Amino acid sequence: MLQEFPLVSKLDPNIYGPPESLITEELIEREIKGIMTVKEALEQKKLFILDYHDLFLPYVHKIRELEDTTMYASRTVFFLTPDDTLRPLAIELTRPASPTKPQWKQVFSPAWDATGAWLWKLAKTHVLAHDSGYHQLVSHW
């Protein structure tokens, strides 16, 4: 369950870049289509998060050094709908700063145009890979 908003990384900003998430109140309220505010959703325990940001961000560069691989850290925010299903609202993918590039982060949300729909599917694929990897490597070991 999401308990604090706005989302902020606890990792060292001197190493990993600015800690603030790009997932905003405006974005969440747009995606829940005015049903309630973020404050109301937090109070009513309607927002949930799948947060692999701080867990995976330290490993991104090591994985990206491997040939033909890529990786980002992720955060996914969900809304508990009136019919008791978790609806994904936003996915933030982040790559930490490197000696040659600044930190990169972008938020993806459901879209209906062709490009936006494919980017949303690719962002969900990253999150599913993170969830599966964490489940297999951390939970089981």
Return the CATH number at 47: 3.10.450.60
- Determine, yes or no, domain membership for 1: no
Q: Are 109 and 120 in contact (CB under 8 A)?
A: yes
Q: Can you give the residue range of the structural domain that contains 37?
A: 13-139
What does the pLDDT average to over 47-69? Answer: 90
User: Between 137 and 128, whose confidence is greater?
Assistant: 128
Split into its structural domains, the chain has a count of: 1
* Per-residue model confidence (pLDDT) at position 2: 96
CA distances from 57 to 10, 27, 36, 95 (A): 11, 23, 32, 7
CA Rg, the chain, in Å? 16
**What tokens were used for 112?**
């209906």
User: Between 98 and 22, whose confidence is greater?
Assistant: 22
* Per-residue model confidence (pLDDT) at position 139: 74
Residue 87 has pLDDT above 80, yes or no: yes
Q: What's the CA gap between 50 and 119, in Å, rounded?
A: 19
What does the pLDDT average to over 113-134? Answer: 94
Neighbouring residues of 103: CB distance < 8 A, sequence distance ≥ 6: 16, 17, 18, 94, 95, 96, 97
* Per-residue model confidence (pLDDT) at position 6: 95
**What tokens were used for 64?**
């990206």
- Determine, yes or no, domain membership for 6: no
